[in-house]
C-alpha cells in the first residue's frame, strides 16, 4: 500500500468514525431518556398515559412484538450496551468496557469503523491522552458533553483504535 493510499484509508476511517460519533451522541440521548423515570422527565413524555390518542404530548409504550421495534432495538443494542457497560477504575477502563460491550452486542457485525486493540494496548494508548480526552471516550460523558467531545473525537479515534477490519 502506498503512502497516498494509506492516507486515503485513514481519512476515510476518520470520516466514518466521526459519523459514528454523531450517531452515538443521538443514541446516547435516546438511551438516557429510556433510563429516566417518566415522573423525572421534564418533557411532555412525563404526562400520564391516557386512552385518547389525539391528545398531544401523551406517552405510549411501544409494542415490543412489533417487527419494526425489534429491528430498531437490534440496531440500538450495541449502543445501549456501551452505556450499560460496567464502570472501570479509570476513565480509560470505563471507555474500554464500553467499546468491548459495543462490539460484543454487535451480533450482525455492522461495525466497520474501528477495531478495538487488546485491553493492554487500549489502556496504554488511552493513558497517554489528556484527562478531558480520556473522559470523552466514555459514552455517558460523551453524551453529556457532546460539543466538547465531538470536536476532539476525530483525533482520538486515530490515537486509540486500530484500522477497521476489511
Section 28-48 average pLDDT: 49
pLDDT of residue 50: 42
Of 112 and 93, more confident: 93
Contacts of 77 (CB under 8 A, 6+ apart): 105, 106, 107
Dist CA 96 CA 122 (whole Å) = 7
Residue 96 pLDDT level (bands cut at 50, 70, 90): very high
Cβ-defined contacts of 97-103 (< 8 Å, 24+): 98/137, 98/138, 98/139, 99/137, 102/78, 103/78
Residue 113 pLDDT level (bands cut at 50, 70, 90): confident
Chain position carrying cell 421534564: 42
pLDDT of residue 52: 44
Task: List the chain domain ranges.
Answer: 3-40+73-160
User: What pTM does this model have?
Assistant: 0.60
The winner for highest mean pLDDT among 34-43, 64-73, 86-95, 103-112 is 86-95
Residue 91 has pLDDT above 90, yes or no: yes
Amino acid at each position: 500500500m502506498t503512502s497516498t493510499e494509506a492516507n486515503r484509508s485513514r481519512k476515510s476511517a476518520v470520516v466514518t468514525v466521526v459519523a459514528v460519533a454523531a450517531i452515538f451522541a443521538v443514541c446516547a440521548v435516546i438511551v438516557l431518556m429510556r433510563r429516566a423515570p417518566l415522573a423525572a422527565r421534564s418533557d411532555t413524555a412525563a404526562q400520564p398515559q391516557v386512552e385518547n390518542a389525539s391528545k398531544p404530548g401523551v406517552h405510549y409504550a411501544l409494542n415490543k412484538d412489533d417487527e419494526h421495534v425489534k429491528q430498531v432495538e437490534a440496531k440500538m443494542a450495541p449502543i445501549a450496551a456501551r452505556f450499560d457497560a460496567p464502570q472501570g477504575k479509570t476513565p480509560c477502563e470505563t471507555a474500554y468496557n464500553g467499546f468491548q460491550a459495543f462490539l460484543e452486542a454487535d451480533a450482525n457485525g455492522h461495525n466497520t469503523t474501528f477495531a478495538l486493540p487488546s485491553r493492554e494496548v487500549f489502556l496504554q494508548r488511552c493513558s497517554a491522552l489528556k484527562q478531558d480526552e480520556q473522559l470523552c471516550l466514555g459514552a455517558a460523558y460523551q453524551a453529556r458533553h457532546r460539543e466538547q467531545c465531538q470536536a476532539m473525537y476525530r483525533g482520538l479515534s486515530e490515537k486509540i483504535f486500530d484500522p477497521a477490519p476489511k
